[in-house]
Amino acid sequence: MQKFIPLHNHLPGIPSATEMQKEGSLNIGDMQLKLLEKVEVLTSYVLELKQQNEELKSRLCNLEKK
């Protein structure tokens, strides 16, 4: 995903604003499902980063005590 977004200027699986303007119609149900999937992926990523951050804080605290 890190390479996809800068290359295509939108999230994978989500149409770009230009595509949506060209097509003119949008199935709201399909778009909500796609956006919910992206929210779930991003939430999982944030939780992973939080865990890594806590581990690094703990390691730093242990090093500072030495």
Spell out the alpha helix ranges (H) of 1-66.
Answer: 4-8, 17-23, 28-65
Mean pLDDT across 11-34: 84
**Mean of the per-residue pLDDT values for the chain?**
89
d(CA 30, CA 36): 10
Residue 1 scores a pLDDT above 90: no
pLDDT given for residue 11 in this prediction = 85
pTM: 0.71
